[in-house]
C-alpha cells in the first residue's frame, strides 16, 4: 500500500493546473460514488489527477490507481479498498474501470462495505455503468466528458480565457457576445485550426502527428475498449474497422443498412448494434427525427463522424466543408442539449428551435416560415437578428 500511495502522490504532484476541463468545477464532488465517462483522449485521467491536486490534501488519504496496474494481477478491487481504508484512506480514484473484470459487482461491494470511502472512477463512454452485473443506478452519479469545446481549445491554444455561454444566451445575445470575443481573438482563423486538430488535448503534443494519433485512438477503442466491454473477437473488430472506413468516406448520409451490411460483412442486427456502440464510443454521431421510436433495432436516419477531427483523420480526401460545419454544430450542441434532425432545416434542438447550417452565402429560404428558427453561418464573425456565427456555438461548455 505504501508503494501505491507513493506512486499516486507522485502522479498527482506532477499534474499541472494551468488548464483544466470545464467538468472539473461542474462535478458535485460531495457524492460518494462518481463516474466520469468519455472517449479516449478527452482527458479523463488528467481530470482525476487535477481533482486530487486541487481539492484533496496530500496527506495519504487519497489514492489514484489505474485498473490495468500490475497490482491487480494478484489483488482484487475489494482488497485494494480494504487495505486503503484500514490505512486511513478516504478517497479512492479508479481510472479505466472497464479494464477490470467484474468491475460492477466489486464496485457495488466497495460502495456497500466501506460507507466512509468515496470512490471516483473513469471508464470508456462505451460502458453502460447501469447495465453491469450489479445495478449502480441508485449509487453512482455519472458525468460525460466530451471532446474539447471550441472555447476550451482557444484557452489551451492561446491562453485567452472566456466564460461558458449558455444556449439561450447565444440565441438572444449573440451580437453582443461575438463583438466582445472578437475584440480579443480572431475566431475564424482559430476555428479553422480547431476543426482539423483541436478536439482533443493531445494536439499540444504536435499537430503534424495529430491525425495519426487520432487514428491510433480509434484503433484502441475498437481493439481494447470494445473488446473489454463487449467481448468481441478479432474478426468482428476487423469488420468494424471496415465499416468505419465505409462511413468515413460517405458521411453525412442516411445509411442503407442492407448495403452496408453486405459491404462490411456484418448481419443487420449486428450492424445496428455496431452503430449504437460506435455512437457511445463517440466515433459516430447518430441522429433521428423526434418521436421516431429510437431503439436498439432502429435504423439511424443520419450518420456523422463524432467530430470534425475524425473526418480529417479517417475521411482523408473525402472531407466536405458542409459536413465539417454540420458535425461541429451537432457535436457541440449534444453536450448540452438534445439534438434531432429537423423536418425543415438541418437540426432541431430541444424539440423547439430549428437551425439551418451553412456558409456565409447561405440563405434562410428553407426555414423562412418557421417560428423559433435560426440561420447558422460559417466564415462570419458577427451575425444579425436570427443569423448566428457558427463558431459561437463552440462556447457552450
Counting every residue written for the chain, the total comes to: 397
Q: Give the pLDDT of residue 287.
A: 95
Q: Give the pLDDT of residue 102.
A: 86
Q: Give the pLDDT of residue 297.
A: 58
Q: Write out the three cell numbers for 147.
A: 471532446
Q: Write out the three cell numbers for 167.
A: 444556449
Q: Give the pLDDT of residue 370.
A: 94
382 Cβ neighbours under 8 A, 6+ residues apart: 175, 178, 179, 182, 389
- State the residue for C-alpha cell 460492477: 104
Residue ranges of the chain whose pLDDT lies below 70: 129-135, 292-297
Q: Give the pLDDT of residue 317.
A: 73
* Rounded CA separation 253/250 (Å): 7
Q: Among residues 68, 334, 326, 11, which one has the least CA distance to residue 220?
A: 68
What's the mean per-residue pLDDT of the chain?
93
CB 260 within 8 A of CB 243: yes
Q: Write out the three cell numbers for 316.
A: 482523408
> Rounded to an integer, what is the distance from CA 246 to the centroid of its chain?
22
* Rounded CA separation 264/361 (Å): 38
Amino acid at each position: 500500500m505504501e508503494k501505491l500511495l507513493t506512486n499516486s502522490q507522485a502522479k498527482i504532484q506532477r499534474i499541472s493546473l494551468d488548464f483544466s476541463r470545464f467538468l472539473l468545477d461542474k462535478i458535485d464532488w460531495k457524492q460518494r460514488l462518481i463516474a466520469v465517462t468519455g472517449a479516449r483522449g478527452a482527458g479523463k485521467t488528467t481530470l482525476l489527477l487535477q481533482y486530487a491536486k486541487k481539492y484533496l490534501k496530500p496527506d495519504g488519504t487519497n489514492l489514484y490507481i489505474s485498473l490495468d496496474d500490475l497490482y491487480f494481477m494478484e489483488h482484487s478491487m475489494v482488497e485494494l479498498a480494504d487495505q486503503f481504508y484500514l490505512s486511513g484512506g478516504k478517497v479512492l480514484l479508479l481510472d479505466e474501470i472497464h479494464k477490470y473484470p467484474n468491475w460492477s459487482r466489486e464496485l457495488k461491494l466497495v460502495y456497500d462495505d466501506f460507507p466512509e470511502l468515496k470512490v471516483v472512477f473513469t471508464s470508456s463512454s462505451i460502458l453502460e455503468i447501469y447495465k453491469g452485473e450489479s445495478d449502480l443506478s441508485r449509487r453512482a452519479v455519472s458525468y460525460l466528458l466530451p471532446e474539447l469545446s471550441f472555447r476550451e481549445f482557444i484557452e489551451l491554444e492561446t491562453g485567452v480565457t472566456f466564460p461558458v455561454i449558455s444556449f439561450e444566451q447565444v440565441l438572444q445575445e449573440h451580437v453582443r457576445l461575438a463583438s466582445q470575443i472578437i475584440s480579443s481573438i480572431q475566431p475564424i482563423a482559430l476555428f479553422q485550426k480547431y476543426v482539423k486538430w483541436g478536439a482533443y488535448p493531445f494536439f499540444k503534443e504536435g499537430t503534424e502527428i495529430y491525425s495519426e494519433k487520432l487514428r491510433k485512438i480509434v484503433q484502441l477503442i475498437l481493439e481494447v475498449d470494445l473488446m473489454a466491454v463487449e467481448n468481441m473477437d478479432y474478426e468482428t473488430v476487423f469488420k468494424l474497422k471496415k465499416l468505419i472506413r465505409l462511413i468515413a468516406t460517405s458521411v453525412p448520409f442516411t445509411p442503407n443498412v442492407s448495403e452496408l451490411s453486405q459491404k462490411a460483412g456484418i448481419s443487420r442486427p449486428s450492424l445496428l448494434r455496431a452503430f449504437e456502440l460506435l455512437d457511445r464510443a463517440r466515433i459516430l454521431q447518430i441522429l433521428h427525427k423526434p418521436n421516431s421510436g429510437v431503439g436498439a433495432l432502429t435504423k439511424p436516419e443520419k450518420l456523422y463522424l463524432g467530430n470534425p477531427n475524425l473526418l480529417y483523420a479517417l475521411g482523408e480526401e473525402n472531407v466536405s466543408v458542409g459536413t465539417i460545419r454540420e458535425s461541429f454544430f451537432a457535436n457541440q450542441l449534444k453536450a448540452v442539449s438534445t439534438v434531432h434532425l429537423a423536418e425543415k432545416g438541418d437540426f432541431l434542438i430541444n424539440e423547439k428551435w430549428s437551425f439551418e447550417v451553412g456558409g456565409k452565402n447561405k440563405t434562410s429560404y428553407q426555414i423562412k416560415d418557421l417560428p423559433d428558427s435560426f440561420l447558422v453561418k460559417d466564415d462570419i464573425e458577427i451575425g444579425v437578428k436570427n443569423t448566428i456565427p457558427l463558431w459561437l456555438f463552440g462556447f457552450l461548455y
